[in-house]
Amino acid sequence: MAVRLERRQLPGGLTQATTMQLYNFFRSGTSHRLRIALNLKGLAYEYVAVDLRSEEHLGAAFKALNPQGLVPALADGDRVLTQSPAIIEWLEERYPTPPLLPAGRNERAKIRALAAIVGCDIHPLNNRRVLEYLRRQFDCDTAAWCATWIDAGFATLETLLAADGTRGEFCFGGAPSLADVYLVPQVESARRFEVDLARYPNIVAIDRACNRLDAFRRAAPALQPDAPIP
């Protein structure tokens, strides 16, 4: 696997020896969250588009990279990482500055729980392959399906965020965390499926604060090279 070599100085004195290759799709929520995490860490990566619309992810070439046939995948030299939660945890361990998880054990558990509401309870039900199956087998109104599970998860998130009297402008404190990395792509999806976000003022405020940061803005689906030209 060819990877362009370079050296890049990172915060905390670490050096990135190679430019990683990110295999992803502009509208994929898991790809979106990984782009945010890489940007927050200040890591260079080569954008490699995998077109889900033409089912490129199911072809032999991509499955040789990731046998599961899902995006994203991150190539770092001869190492290929899959599954966005595992990749983000790997990034956190390999490039710990700036951190996406707080120092305290209890606080880390809270942030992981917020992220899991999106990553485990909302996104898997609204994944493209699930929606395709519902459309083909049951002629399902997939927009209503998606909105149902986004609303269920967001109602819980909004309650937890509103109850946290110590929260700053982000999900936790004054800097983005793993929870924000997961939340913002889900808000993007909620808008796509016309979820009424007026019911979730804390979520909307956090999304607005995140998107004032360059790391989040540059990761937006509409700005990716494989996004349709307006």
The residue ranges of every structural domain in the chain are 23-98, 105-216
Local structure of 212: helix, strand or coil: coil
63 pLDDT above the threshold of 50: yes
3 pLDDT above the threshold of 80: no
7-53 pLDDT, tens digit per residue, is 444 455 555 656 899 999 999 999 999 999 999 999 999 999 999 99
- The string of DSSP codes covering 161-209 is HHH-TT--SSSSTTS--HHHHHHHHHHHHHHHTT--GGG-HHHHHHHHH
Q: pTM for this structure?
A: 0.91
Mean confidence (pLDDT) of the chain = 92
pLDDT above 70 covers a percentage of the chain that reads 92
CATH node for 23-98: 3.40.30.10
pLDDT band at 79 (very low <50, low <70, confident <90, very high): very high
Query: Whats the size of the chain, residue-wise?
Result: 230
Token pair 């990716």: residue: 224
86-138 pLDDT, tens digit per residue, is 999 999 999 999 999 999 999 999 999 999 999 999 999 999 999 999 999 99
Distances from the Cα of 72 to the Cαs of 93, 98, 164, 211, in angstroms? Answer: 19, 22, 32, 22
Q: Which residues contact 83 (CB under 8 A, 6 or more apart)?
A: 70
pLDDT at 49: 96
pLDDT at 46: 94
Euclidean distance between CA atoms 1 and 225, whole angstroms = 22
pLDDT at 1: 32
pLDDT at 13: 53
pLDDT band at 59 (very low <50, low <70, confident <90, very high): very high
For domain 105-216, the question of CATH label 1.20.1050.10 is answered with yes
153-171 pLDDT, tens digit per residue, is 999 999 999 998 778 899 9
